[in-house]
Every structure is written in C-alpha cells, then in structure tokens.
Structure 1
Amino acid sequence: MNVTYGIMKGLAKIACNLSEEKANYMGELMGRLFLKLIPLKRKQISIQNILRTEITDDIKKAEEIAKSSVLRFGPMCVSMFRFPLLDKKNPSKYANIEGKEYLDELVKNKKGCILATGHSGNWEMLGALLAMYGYPLLSVAMKQSNEGFDRFLIEYRSLTGQKIEYKTGVRDMYRCLKEGYFVALLCDQDPGKTGILSDFFNIPTLTATGPAHLSLLCDAPVVSVMIHQEKNKKYKVKIWEPIKAEKNLSKKESIKQITDIINKRLEEWIKKYPEEWFWLHRRWKSTDRLNKKA
C-alpha cells in the first residue's frame, strides 16, 4: 500500500470514529498545523494578493484574512474524511440551494452544462452535495503528483456519486456534455500563457477560457456555482442564472463576454466571503509576466 494513501485512509478512519464535536476539533488542529507548515514567502503572497484586490487597504486586516483562509483547510479536510458518513439520500440536511431551479430545468430538458466554480469555501463538499442531490456531475480533476494522495481523492470524491475524470481533451468533455452531464470546472487559477485578459478586481487578468469555448462548441450554458458554510454549520450553495453569449457577437466577443461574467460573479462572491478564497495561489503570476514584456 502506498504510504500516503495509508496515512490518508488512517486519518479518515479516525475522523469517522469521532463525534461531530471532536471531529470539528480535529479540523481546527489540522488547520493550525497547515498554518505552521506554510512557508513565510507563500503567506506574504497571500497578503499581497489581498491588498492588490483592494478588499482592504489595512495590512492587519489582510493578515487576518490570509490566516483564516489557511485555517479553514483543516475543517475542509476532515469534512472529506467523513464523506462515508454522509446521508446521501437526504442532502437537504446539509445544505440549502439557492437557484436550484436552474439546474432542475436543465435536467428536465436533458441538457448538459458547464459548472463554473472556484477554490472558495469547501469546494469538495460542493461537488459532493450536487452529486447527492442527483445531478449528473462530472468533476474534472487535475492528476496529483503523489499517487497515493491522488488515489485517495478520486476514491472519496466518487463515494458521493460524482463521476471523476482527469483534465482531458475537448472531445471527451464534448461527449459528456452531449450525454447531459454537468461538467464542473475550477475557473479561478492562473492559466499560464493561455487565456485572455478579463477584469478581475478591476485588474485585467489572464483568465482561462475553457468554459466559454466549451459553451460555444457544445451549445451548452455556463452556470456559476459557489458554496459557503453558515454559522449553524449548514452549507449555502448559490447557483446563478445560466450564461449564454449574445447571438450577434463574434466567437472572440462571445468568449470574452462569458469569461467576463464568470469573473464578475466570482469576484462578487470573494468580496462577500474573502476569508474563504485560496489566496495562497499566485493568481496574477502570468499576468505580471505579460505586463513586463509589454
């Protein structure tokens, strides 16, 4: 057995044998551990990212947001460890969904869509909940370099009814969309040299265009979806109205319009819950390189 896989399974077994109160404490401890393990340079990147977005101009407040952003990874991990305990027939026990009618209409018409989400809130629980509600969910995952960790993620995501596929070619996604799947994509990471400039916190930011391209190719709408955990521990899932490009636009203009809307919705959500976004990520790395060349 792979060592990492064995450790992850062991932690999951412990978490599943704990009471909810003790599991919450386990999550808090793991969050503190993660905070200690994060390199100082990466913490500084988080603070710089927060100040750059102008969510706050107070460095102390930025430090608090950055700290909270890391601490939440502990509870998020424990919630995934406890996936085997979820009552899959009663997802409403765990979440309220705003905008559920948009997905229900797509299911009724046997039409697939692209779910555009980001690394905000408990995105692992988001996928689990949507699958538990019975939606035909295909989660597109990035293969992890550690084989054991990758095996664990695939196994536990699949427990909730999600279909998992690694990032594949457009042809495979096209097939799944035509079969009526909801293809979930994380849309908030630096796309490297690809992508187009789209405003994100009033910063022209290189942004992945995969969702927009798929939408036009498959004639499938893009649906923004995000998650937040309320103080009572119940989740709130927000689903926005489906995005379809205006018919009089060129392909280039359509891609820009769809991408802009995705970014705008993501930005609004992050402003509402800034401590829940993945600030450790160097979101503007490629954008800054592009600007230096200009």
Structure 2
Amino acid sequence: MSAPAPSPESPPLPPLPPARLVQVQGQRPSPVVGWLANRLMDGVCALPASWRDGLARFVGRLAFTLGIRLRVALENLTHAYPDMSDAERRKIALGAYITMARVVLESIDTKEHVETWWEAEDIKGEAWEALKANIAKGQGALLVTAHFGNWERAGKMLLRRGIPLNALVRPLKGALNMRIVDNRIAAGAGLIYPRGAIAEANEAVRLGETVLMLLDQSLPAKAAAFVPFFGRPASTTPAMAVVAKRTGAPVFVVMGIRDESGQKLRLEVEGPILPPEDLGKQDALTAHTAAVTAVLEKYVRRYPDQWLWLHRRWKVQPPSEGQAALKS
C-alpha cells in the first residue's frame, strides 16, 4: 500500500550528521595479514571497471563449476520452481554466483567514482517521496531489503541522498569482511548488532533515523516467525514487525536492482507497508512479517538470478503439531 505522493517540488533533505553507532564488533586479522590483504584488494579495485566485472564473472563461474554450495542452490530452486527445467534452474544459479562475486568485489571498493558509476538512474516513485517526507519531518522509518542485487550499494545510495541509515548487522571476521565493515562506516552508516538490537532500533527511530534490516535469513525456530516464501514456511526474524509496533514507524522495502548488463544499479522503494488490523499481538507480528516478505518474494521472482540461492533459506521448519504439544 503506497501513501499519496508529496509535492514533487519537495526540498532536498539536509546533510547527514555523523553516524552515532560506529562501534565495530568482529575479529580483525593480524596486522601483517591485514596489510597484505588490503594491498591485494587495493590492486583489484584499481583495475578498470570492465576488468573488475570480468573478474567477478570469472570468479562466479569458477565457483559454480567447482560446485561450491551448488547442491543447496539447486535444491532451493527446485522447491521454488518445480515446473522449471534443470537447465533453466542451473542458469539462474549461475547468475546468483556471479551476483555474489560482483557484490564482494564492489563492496571492497573505496573509490567514490565507482559508486556514482554504479547508479543507473535517480530514485523515483511515490514511496520514495513518502520516505523522504517522513525523514524531512524528523520521523524515523524501517527499511527492509534482502541479499539481492547489491544490498551494500543500495544502503550507500540511500545515505548519499540524505537518508540517515543504521544497518542491523552481525559481527564479522577476516580482512575482506572487516574492509566491508569499514566501508559501511566510511559511507556514514551506523551499525546495530544483535545484542540489544531492538532497543537500538527503537532509539534510532525515535531520533528520526532509519534502520535497515535484511529479512531473508533463517533463525532458530524459537526466535522466528514462520511466513510463506515461495509457498513454503520460512523462518524469519520478527524484529522489523516488533519495532514497527512499538514505534509506529512506517516500513518500506528498498531493493538495489542491477540492469541487464549487471554493471549499473537502480534503487526501487515500496511502501509504507502497513501492519494488519484487528489481529492479536502475535498474529499481527507474523502477518506484518509475511506482508513484507511477500514484497521481497515479488522482486526475487522478477529477477531470480539476483538473489542468494546459495543460502539455506528453508533449513528451519516449524515444529510439527505433536512436537508443539509436547513443549506446551
């Protein structure tokens, strides 16, 4: 459901203040390993754009050929597209490998000219204007995305357009991952970690900021809401719905979508996606999570090779009725 569009002449958002939540959690490599790894990554980033993309396609095809997590990807695709031929599913899987390789190479780059080269067009639409208007009034919002297109660049596109953004993330380790974390902070993003995440998200919304969450990873059953995703129950965090209920903040889906060449990105925004009415608390949280997940599924169906099929999205299933009765 989209809100009415504000006036197209709405003024630009003011410059962003420095991010508040810049504490880094994770494990960095030793100084020597970190220095060597970063010099290697600097060398890759210095390559011409067409060479970098060629390298990403090579790495993606190599991982696909070697069969790294290929069984997982094909099993997921078989469940999602049972009527599709094996050749068609393998083509989508190959695209997903190339997408992942592109995300990694693009996310370690620190050069601003690469980021502007990436943007296919400006962001348009009623939902985008509604989000900007919400921020301009000093009211926070919740943003939802998936491991799709390039979620790292999508966040940076929002930041460059004046949207104060805090990303819900996990502690990482290793030189490559920590470089991506440092790039997030350099772009102006705040970082919210799992411990105390709900309280931090509530505070960010209260201060008129946004919180960006990825809603396409499975959780242990006891912490999850089970909602349909490609016709199967998918274990999903209810954190977005919980914060939305507590704060009244609107929820928008933001997706960074590659063009046909795979080398440019555009951002699409949908929302606000409102919580259902006249339901009990737990049912309302699950229904709101399901409504947002349905929008994510729409984009994955539209661009299936841009989603991370390598992840075991359905590995956690709801307990059977018999198991639930024994626990109660």
Q: What TM-score, normalized to structure 2? A: 0.80
Paired AA for residue 84 in structure 1: K
The correspondence of residues 67-82 of structure 1 with structure 2, limited to 5 A, is: 67-82=94-109
Instruction: Give the equivalent residue in structure 1 for 2:180.
Output: 153
Quote the Cα distance in structure 2 between the aligned partners of 1:20 and 1:191: 37
Instruction: Give the equivalent residue in structure 2 for 1:139.
Output: 167
Question: Structure 1 residues 90-99 or 275-284, which shifts more?
Answer: 90-99
Contact 2:108/2:179 (<8 A) preserved: no
Instruction: Give the equivalent residue in structure 1 for 2:47.
Output: 18
Paired AA for residue 124 in structure 1: E
Paired AA for residue 105 in structure 1: A
Aligned-partner SS, 1:185: strand
Alignment partner of 1:186 is 2:201? no
- Shift of the 205–92 alpha-carbon distance from structure 1 to 2, 3 Å rule, reads closer
Aligned-partner SS, 2:192: strand
- Shift of the 93–172 alpha-carbon distance from structure 1 to 2, 3 Å rule, reads closer
Quote the Cα distance in structure 2 between the aligned partners of 1:185 and 1:166: 11
Instruction: Give the equivalent residue in structure 2 for 1:127.
Output: 155
Paired AA for residue 103 in structure 1: L
Q: Offset of 1:154 from its aligned partner?
A: 1.4
- Identify, as 1 or 2, the structure richer in helix: 1
- Shift of the 21–184 alpha-carbon distance from structure 1 to 2, 3 Å rule, reads same
Paired AA for residue 79 in structure 2: R
Of the three residues 60, 83, 86, the one matched with 2:110 is 83
Q: What TM-score, normalized to structure 1? A: 0.88
Q: Offset of 1:36 from its aligned partner?
A: 5.1
Contact 1:56/1:62 (<8 A) preserved: no
Contact 1:98/1:236 (<8 A) preserved: no
- Shift of the 56–153 alpha-carbon distance from structure 1 to 2, 3 Å rule, reads farther
Q: Offset of 1:293 from its aligned partner?
A: 5.0
Instruction: Give the equivalent residue in structure 1 for 2:129.
Output: 101
Of the three residues 274, 278, 291, the one matched with 1:248 is 278
Paired AA for residue 275 in structure 1: D
Contact 1:83/1:160 (<8 A) preserved: no
> Any idea what the Cα deviations from partners look like across 1:86-129, whole Å, max 9, x if unmatched?
377x6995543243212211112211111111111111111111
Unmatched segments (≥5 aa) in structure 1: none
- Shift of the 15–92 alpha-carbon distance from structure 1 to 2, 3 Å rule, reads closer
Unmatched segments (≥5 aa) in structure 2: 1-29
Count of residue pairs brought into register by the alignment: 290
Contact 2:150/2:257 (<8 A) preserved: yes
Q: Offset of 1:283 from its aligned partner?
A: 0.9
Aligned-partner SS, 2:316: helix
Contact 2:276/2:288 (<8 A) preserved: no
Instruction: Give the equivalent residue in structure 1 for 2:292.
Output: 262
> Any idea what the Cα deviations from partners look like across 1:2-29, whole Å, max 9, x if unmatched?
4553354223311332222222223223
Q: Give identity over the alignment, percent.
A: 23
Contact 2:205/2:247 (<8 A) preserved: yes
Contact 1:141/1:167 (<8 A) preserved: yes
Question: Structure 1 residues 209-218 or 68-77, which shifts more?
Answer: 68-77
Contact 1:102/1:239 (<8 A) preserved: no
Quote the Cα distance in structure 2 between the aligned partners of 1:98 and 1:137: 19
Q: Offset of 1:38 from its aligned partner?
A: 5.1
Aligned-partner SS, 2:317: helix
- Shift of the 166–275 alpha-carbon distance from structure 1 to 2, 3 Å rule, reads same
Paired AA for residue 12 in structure 1: M
Q: Offset of 1:276 from its aligned partner?
A: 1.0
Q: Offset of 1:222 from its aligned partner?
A: 1.5
Instruction: Give the equivalent residue in structure 1 for 2:64.
Output: 35
Alignment partner of 1:212 is 2:241? yes
Paired AA for residue 42 in structure 2: K
Quote the Cα distance in structure 2 between the aligned partners of 1:216 and 1:165: 19
Aligned-partner SS, 2:122: strand
Of the three residues 243, 255, 258, the one matched with 1:226 is 255
Question: Structure 1 residues 261-270 or 152-161, which shifts more?
Answer: 152-161
Of the three residues 115, 135, 144, the one matched with 1:116 is 144
- Shift of the 56–162 alpha-carbon distance from structure 1 to 2, 3 Å rule, reads farther
Alignment partner of 1:62 is 2:62? no
Quote the Cα distance in structure 2 between the aligned partners of 1:122 and 1:98: 18
Quote the Cα distance in structure 2 between the aligned partners of 1:239 and 1:282: 26
Paired AA for residue 123 in structure 2: I
Computed over aligned residues only, the root mean square deviation of the Cα atoms, in angstroms, reads 2.5
Quote the Cα distance in structure 2 between the aligned partners of 1:4 and 1:290: 48
Quote the Cα distance in structure 2 between the aligned partners of 1:3 and 1:149: 14
